[in-house]
Amino acid sequence: MPLRAMIRRTLPFLLMLAPALAWGQEAPTLYAGHCAACHGPDRLGGIGPALIPETVGHLKPAQLAATIAHGRMQTEMPAFAGRLTAGEITALAAYVASPLAVEPHWSEADIRASRTVFEPHPAAHPVFKADLMNLFTVVEAGDHHAIILDGDSFTPLARFKTRPSLHGGAKYSPDAHYVYLASRDGWVQKYDLWGLTMAAEVRAGINTRNIAVSDDGKWIAVGNTLPRTLVILDAATMLPVKVIPVADRAGHASRVSAVYEAPPRHSFIVALKDVKELWEIPTRPGAEVCQGAVRTYDAGMESPACRKGPFPVRRIATEDVLDDFFFDPGYHNVMAAARDGRPGEVVNLDVGHTIATLDLSGMPHLGSGIVFRRHGRWLMATPHLKEGKVSVIDMTSWKTVAVINTLGPGFFLRGHEKSRYAWVDNAASPAHDKVQVIDLDSLKIVKTLQPAPGKTVGHVEFTHDGRYALLSDMEMQGALIVYDAKTLREVKRIPMVKPIGKYNVGNKLEYSTGTSH
């Protein structure tokens, strides 16, 4: 038999056999005996998170094995080093990082069945005297909790348990009554900020990227990678009203990279990870998608040629697969990054096509960009995930007008309308214990801070009035470090368990140009 024909015949069998060769035949039995009770017999989660590549793929094999061997401090994850051999732990780590044999489904019926209402009666008014607009939701990743922090006194008002591995940031209802949190394994939690109680939760998918709340507060969009769906939840009931399969015009399925709210447009904007499209989904009654544009009709008017709601999909063709978005202040244009250092695009949402190319390399983290005015022009600045630099882009010409070199790649850049400074971390580099401060007039780094030598620091968020900047020491025995945003001097440290993201209510609801939305 010719070699090529032999390979064609044996390759499917070898692919089927590959997982067993990687983690050994005993791994499923070990999983069933030691892991299934918490993480589900199908690895899709239970008390503990889902153990699939989409959830744990960001961890290296040695990190996974260490977690199995030693557990996680201050969580329910036990240590197995005394019960399993090193070989068995290695096999289990490889097993949970391997793809599922069959891609899981999660239907509307599954979503409905997963919903739990903890508090059916919302608080009629806040049970505290703190300024609602200056509250923070602080995520403690170390033991899966969140803190509601008073941004004036810097004292916690409440601390509550969350689902593991929150992702995509906190989102707020327009009246600041609720905060919504999403986990990587699909859970969406609704917390009553006024009453400081958990209101409800529902599992909208198997693996979720993030959520967005409509500008009127009525709907929550959940972007999933497993299954490949966009789920619209009723924010009041936390029940699904529509499950949209995600695929392009030709039927090629795609994961959702992210979903965003576009307040002036009364719509959701959806980034797709695998196809050359972006979607706009109007959220108001009477909205229809007609010949590629969104139109809103008065009650009683008909347009038979249009795709009607609820939540019709407007498809906008793109020149490349676009993975990360940023919007101009008016939400007319989307700045989008492509993969592997290829040029990004500017897509005008009004006309529905690409209008410019962006010269951005090194995996720009556009979702963490900021906007500011300098010499009468709107500029956008973004850090890079693979290069130590911040790129500054003119939002009229779409040209890169400056590059600010940093100590190393970082994740987050933050500013505030009332501050002359932007803060950038170097968390993805050997300089992970340093944060740098950029003067937005000179576009120069004016100070480098090292508040916790040897520890990872990052993700600055400002108070609502811009007077203080809050920085995370992201270690298990970490802290929230408060700085005077004008003098750049430390004011206070608040001990916390691996604090990561912190999200100010007023800055989010007012769409501050210095923070992500």
Contacts of 390 (CB under 8 A, 6+ apart): 381, 382, 383, 384, 403, 404, 406, 413, 424, 438
Q: Is the pLDDT of residue 77 over 90?
A: no
- d(C-alpha 345, C-alpha 355), whole Å: 8
Output the pLDDT for position 292.
67
- d(C-alpha 466, C-alpha 485), whole Å: 7
Beta partners for 439?
421, 444
Q: What is the band of 299 on the pLDDT scale with cuts at 50, 70, 90?
A: very low
The pLDDT of 179-198, averaged and rounded, is 97
Q: What is the band of 73 on the pLDDT scale with cuts at 50, 70, 90?
A: low
Q: What is the band of 48 on the pLDDT scale with cuts at 50, 70, 90?
A: confident
Q: What is the band of 306 on the pLDDT scale with cuts at 50, 70, 90?
A: confident
The pLDDT of 163-186, averaged and rounded, is 94
pLDDT per residue over 440-470, tens digit each?
A: 999 999 999 999 999 999 999 999 999 999 9
CA triple 108-106-257, angle to 5 deg? 105
The pLDDT of 195-214, averaged and rounded, is 96
- Residue recorded with tokens 């064609």: 8
CA triple 143-147-150, angle to 5 deg? 160
Q: Which residue has the higher pLDDT, 92 or 14?
A: 92
- In Å, what is the CA distance from 419 to each residue of 351, 450, 463, 464? 35, 21, 11, 11
Look at domain 3-96 and name its CATH class: mainly alpha
At position 413, the amino acid (one-letter code) is L
Output the pLDDT for position 430.
95
Per the CB < 8 A criterion, the answer to whether 377 and 337 are in contact is: no
Report the percentage of the chain scoring pLDDT > 90.
67
The pLDDT of 174-184, averaged and rounded, is 97
Proportion of the chain in helix, strand, coil states, percent, rounded to 5: 15, 40, 45
- d(C-alpha 134, C-alpha 149), whole Å: 9
Per the CB < 8 A criterion, the answer to whether 384 and 409 are in contact is: yes
Locate 194 and state its tokens.
């006024």
Nearest to residue 391, comparing CAs of 422, 417, 356, 355? 422
- d(C-alpha 184, C-alpha 218), whole Å: 23
Secondary structure of residue 91 in the 3-state scheme: helix
Output the pLDDT for position 89.
84
pLDDT per residue over 327-353, tens digit each?
A: 999 999 999 887 766 778 999 999 999
- In Å, what is the CA distance from 144 to each residue of 138, 174, 210, 329, 477? 11, 26, 17, 34, 14
Comparing 29-33, 69-73, 354-358, which segment has the lowest mean pLDDT?
Answer: 69-73
- d(C-alpha 265, C-alpha 331), whole Å: 7
Nearest to residue 390, comparing CAs of 421, 412, 375? 412
Domain ranges of the chain: 3-96
Q: What is the band of 296 on the pLDDT scale with cuts at 50, 70, 90?
A: low
The pLDDT of 316-320, averaged and rounded, is 92
- d(C-alpha 457, C-alpha 426), whole Å: 8
Output the pLDDT for position 308.
73
pLDDT per residue over 235-292, tens digit each?
A: 999 999 999 999 999 999 999 999 999 999 999 999 999 999 999 999 988 788 876 6
Query: Which of 213-227, 321-335, 357-371 shows the highest mean pLDDT?
Result: 213-227
How much is the CA Rg of the chain, to the nearest whole Å?
Answer: 23
DSSP assignment letter at 134: G
CB atoms within 10 A of CB 117: 13
3 state SS for 330-358: CCCEEEEEECCCCCEEEEECCCCEEEEEE
Q: Is the pLDDT of residue 12 over 50?
A: no
- d(C-alpha 193, C-alpha 163), whole Å: 17
Report the percentage of the chain scoring pLDDT > 70.
91
Output the pLDDT for position 95.
84
Output the pLDDT for position 337.
85
The DSSP H or E segment spanning 165 is: none
Query: Which of 147-151, 246-250, 322-326 shows the highest mean pLDDT?
Result: 147-151
- d(C-alpha 28, C-alpha 420), whole Å: 56
Locate 318 and state its tokens.
């793109």
Output the average pLDDT for the chain.
89
Q: Which residue has the higher pLDDT, 319 or 97?
A: 319
Locate 37 and state its tokens.
């009770």
Locate 425 and state its tokens.
């971390």
Output the pLDDT for position 2.
54
Q: Is the pLDDT of residue 23 over 90?
A: no
Output the pLDDT for position 3.
52
Contacts of 397 (CB under 8 A, 6+ apart): none
- d(C-alpha 205, C-alpha 225), whole Å: 8
- In Å, what is the CA distance from 408 to each residue of 388, 389, 411? 4, 7, 10
Output the pLDDT for position 59.
78
3 state SS for 346-414: EEECCCCEEEEEECCCCCECHHHCEEEEECCEEEEEEEECCCCEEEEEECCCCCEEEEEECCCCCCCEE
Output the pLDDT for position 102.
78
Concatenate the DSSP letters of all residues of 271-291 into one string: EESSSSEEEEEE-STTEEEET
